[in-house]
Amino acid sequence: MEYTVETRCLHLEEEKNKDKDFGSVSFPIYQTATFAHYGVGRSTGYDYTRLQNPTREQLERIVASLEGGCDAIAFASGMAAIATLMECFKPGDHLIVDGDLYGGTIRLFNSVCKNKGIEITAIELAKEDPLPYIKENTKAVYVETPTNPMMNITDIKKLSEITKEKGLLLIVDNTFLSPYFQNPLSLGADIIVHSGTKYLGGHNDTIAGFLVTNREDVKEQLRFFYKTTGAALAPFDSWLILRGIKTLAVRMERAQENAMAVAEWLKGQSCVTKVLYPGLPEHPGYEVMKKQARGFGGMLTFEVDTTERAQGILEHVKLIQFAESLGGTESLITYPVTQTHADVPKDKLLENGITDRVLRLSLGIEGKEDLIADLAQAFTAASK
């Protein structure tokens, strides 16, 4: 029997070992570093938690099921997942990446990957054809869609047709939409990246990352680097993400409802010069999103008329918290130029439209009336 995505957030198609777990509804936390053997050549199937752990394996099976992959690998953070992924490339390899990415990813590409001899070319994949940039040593294309923070939308299927024709890996960061709203593997991607800290965890209480693939050859390579570099997610954190995924469907729906309501409200404010939310029909990626995703998500970015107003809003929000991160039950407002993208060169920020007047909102599950009222009072206070 094939379950719906809502059900797969809680149950695998074939649950195993229920008797061994004493019928536990909440999957047990195997908080152990190592596993004893019955004798020489007689293993339980587990050796050492860096290599495998039952709690983490349950989480990995569920994430793989949600994304339609043959394997999902759970890491200690989203950046640990991306850093391990980059071990698949060697000096002299060339990657084409989106110009608008999370600042930590940009930092890794520019400061670590380039120093290791990996060539990086950043372009606007939502607007530019990557074909002219593909070279003999090009190995992969890396994209976020929607991008962080400017909410650019790339047509994954169209891009995958190019990467498959050229024999390149297509890597898609699916953090903003989660597997509830978007499944890049079904659109032709080879590897999915998740910051599990965000929507998968959903409660702002733990850090995790994932790589998911539907290719056996890629799975073997990723598993080798995973066990070798040792960036595995701990058992208790695995359990926290398992717990978070149980409410993924209801949280994503509520966050999207709130994002749409707040986006419409922002459009009516005279001091707001730009609202970037792919659920708005005027967004340039709206039609692509309708085609490749089941929803628009809970993230939006907006720009106000002055730096003073932007900073005043941050000073005066009360219910919405001024903090980094996203995807949790609580709504958060972020200032990209000093937080998520603080290490990105100023000229690159301006090129991407990230100014000191730009604010990013992650809508949580509070009442939308309360969120709008909080923004309204913050806007009023910032005008004084």
Residues with a catalytic annotation lie at 50, 102, 173, 198
> What is the C-alpha separation between 353 and 23, in angstroms, rounded?
53
Sheet holding 332-334: strands in order across? 272-276, 299-304, 358-362, 332-334, 321-322
Find where tokens 């709130």 sit: 258
Those residues whose C-beta lies under 8 Å from the C-beta of residue 41, and which sit 6 or more positions away, are: none
Q: Which helix (H) or strand (E) holds 31?
A: none
DSSP class of residue 46 equals -
Beta bridge partners of 96: 121, 141
DSSP class of residue 382 equals H
Looking from the CA of 263 toward its CB, the CA atoms found within 13 Å total 25
Beta bridge partners of 211: 73, 193
DSSP class of residue 84 equals H
DSSP class of residue 2 equals P
